[in-house]
Amino acid sequence: MEDVTPTLGETVESDTELKTWLVNYVGEQHDPENGEVTVGMIVETIASEFPEFLLAVAEENWIRGYHQALDDAEAGRKALEEVTKQNG
């Protein structure tokens, strides 16, 4: 099993000013043969040149996921208690 999301291989379209700048910058760094910049190339560049930004995004994502897992576990516990009450 591969630990890569398909999104990392997607080509980035320059449809905003920021994306245009970022795609051009990353394209200069990676110099892809086909001229297309992917999300993965952007992540790699940001990880190497602005790691604190990527870390902040990753931490926020982890915290949100952890909170969601706790909420889901609590909802599951309540559902199990309800079923047990109905059957018991």
Residue 26's CB: how many other CB atoms inside 10 A?
A: 22
Backbone Cα Rg of the chain: 21
Local mean pLDDT, 10-residue blocks, the chain (88 residues): 79 96 97 96 96 95 92 92 85
* The predicted structure's pLDDT at residue 1: 47
pTM: 0.72
DSSP 7: G
